[in-house]
Structures are given as structure tokens and as C-alpha cells.
Chains A and B, each alone.
Chain A
């Protein structure tokens, strides 16, 4: 369970998160939508402790992320995250990309790590690309590789930050399919996305961010058909 309690976060003078309260249960799929600069990416990087917060608390399975005593490197094993920008490690093959963390962080042996990696790569449809360097992959394949890389750590939670928005339109589908597959398997996920159909069809709840505030959160039916907040209405009408 991820619990976010009254979180404030600024970059210098710029307030980016202004009191966020949110709980994501085990097995839940949450989609987060909102305008550019509304703080969605920042929230994700706060959840896995890549960014410090100014006040409030984030608890992951009861562990306070920003407590001094927390071993962040250990905590992060539980939380997979995939970003909008492609960030394959270009000097490692696809297989090595995926085995790196299990081997170095979890101390797994090479055969064991590779077994897991191959399984994950097959799950995302990249079984045949194991020996290839990421430079040879399309954007969509790179994103799927990043997902496999995160999954190889057997995380309890997966965070996705607009993983399709840097992709050419024809490649978006293959990545979304991968996300759907994960959701079907019962992974707990927070997906920042601009793909409304994905938010509508796959998620359990949809949250709308506006200028650092979570303006609205509701199951997709209600969210899309009867949005409460005027900003949500404006946002949705702009999209259609």
C-alpha cells in the first residue's frame, strides 16, 4: 500500500505539490492525468525517494520513504519506475540491461538473473532482442525493455510516467498492451498518462492533477462521464 499524506514539495520558490493526499491499495491501477507542469512526474519521483519532500509523509508498505533511517536503495527495489525519456544503458546489451540490477543489487548469480531476465523480456515481447544493444531498438522496444528491467527486480509497485509520450503513434499500442498485461496480472500501478482510452479501460481509479493539487479522483466511469471539478471538465473537453 502506498500512502501519501499531505505532501508539499517545492523547487526553490516554485511550489509544485501543494498538499497531496492519496492512498493506492495493493492490486489497484491508478491513472494520473493533468496539464503539463501540474506535478505528476514530481509526485512519482517523490514516491521512490529520488526527490526529497518539504513536508508531509509518504509511506510504502508502512515504511516512511523520507525518514532518515530508511534505506532508500533497499526500498527502491520494491518500486519499479519507467520514465517518459528512453533511458536504456547504451553500453549494455538488452539482457545485460535487465540483469544488471538483480546481479549487483540483489547479488543474484548470473544464470539465475538471466533466467529471470529472459522471462521478463519474453513477457514484454523482446525475447529475441536479448543480445542486441539498445541503440538498435525502436522507441517502443526501448520502453518495453525498461519495463522488463524494472520487473526483473520483482517490485511490488510499478510507476509509469507517460511512457508512451515520446513514441511515434504507431508504437504506442505495443507499450500500452504491455501495461494492460501487467494490470491483468494484478500489479499495483500508478500510471501518469495522456492516453485517455487507457485510463478509462484499464484503471480502477483516475486522478486529475491541477497546479500541484489533486483536484479530483474517481473510478473511470464517474470521472469521464460526470466530472465534478470545473478544471477537470475543462481539461476533458479540451481533449475530446
Chain B
């Protein structure tokens, strides 16, 4: 029978899970309409497939359930491709890679990432950073970790001083600090994490679609669209290298 790729083409709509409180990857404009890097990627993918794009907002913890629940076809949601998750969903090759930064509340007086030790820190529940930070706290044996439901809540809590530091992608951190909406926060340091490679994802068994997604990511880089969108949403500079030397894929 037809696979998901066929279904999408036949239905004429591509439904993407996108996180909309994760600027500049996903956010809302002044009219509360979705915009951002991931939103554009979804639109590009839909265009390639020759169908209409439908952005379905999902908070971080709900991305995979939304896919599994058949509510979306593909996740374009800055999702880290961990091996644990790959037991459940199928990832494409990475379409973006984040460096992470430590953002602190000015009052906490932090200088390096190691100053997080013993502090109350937070991140968005279920993200790559959250998992890393919770691990660090365990390792240090001191401090407290608080996961919030949305990225916005994390920065709200940081700005209010409820937490003293967070780790988020450099892009998100810069966008939020620059926006001026969160007074009293600043980027402290880079977080010493392996770059956070994120992939598109869909149902694990949909090889046809996963193949298509892989080629799509490849084409985006090849055609320069990747760099173009980076410039549009992130700014000047060079987008992360999506290839890893010394290994296939």
C-alpha cells in the first residue's frame, strides 16, 4: 500500500511540528503568525513536495507525541538526534547544528560556564541542553535543575531571577538577549557541549520519506538556501558545518 510519502503528496498538505517559542528557529510575528528558520524549512519542504505547508505548533515535550499521534507528518523542530529517541522515531541527516551558550542573570555574577556549579539553573523540559544540564548537576552533586514547559518560560524565569542560569543554543540566546524583552540577562560563556546536531524526523519505518528528507537537507545546503536562511534568521557569519570528518553520513 501507499507509504507516508505518497499520503502526503496525495493529501496535498504537509503538516510540520514546529516549536514556536524558540527564536530564531520558530517564533511568532506581531500578528502572532509563525515565522523563523524552521518555519521556512517546512515551507521549502512543502514546496519541494508540491503541497501546501501547515505549521502545527508543538511545545518541546509534545513534538514526538504529536508525530506519533498522527497530528503531524514531519518534525521540523530543532530536534536533537539522540540514539535514545531514534529508538522511537526516524531521523534525517542533520539539517542544522547548534553551539550552546550559558546565559546568566546579571545578579548571579557568573564569569565562566563552571560558575553554574551550585546554582539554580533551568532549561526547556526534554531538550538536549536540559538533559546535559541535569547530568552536570548530578555530577557536581550540588545546585538545582528546573525544567520548564517552554523556552519562553525559561527566559521569563531567568529574567525574573527565579533561576540564575540556563543553557540554550547560541542563536536563541543571542536573539533573546538582543530583543531586550528579558532585562538583566547576558551570555556568559560557551557551553562545553558536543555541537547539538538536529534532524528532521518522521515515523521510524517510513524509509521512503526519510530518504526524501535526507536528499532535501542535502539539496538545501547544495543550492545555498541553507546559507541564505541562516543569514535571514541568524545573521552574519558562517552556518555550522553539517559534515563530520572521519565518519560516513
Contact between chain A and chain B defined by CB under 8 Å: no
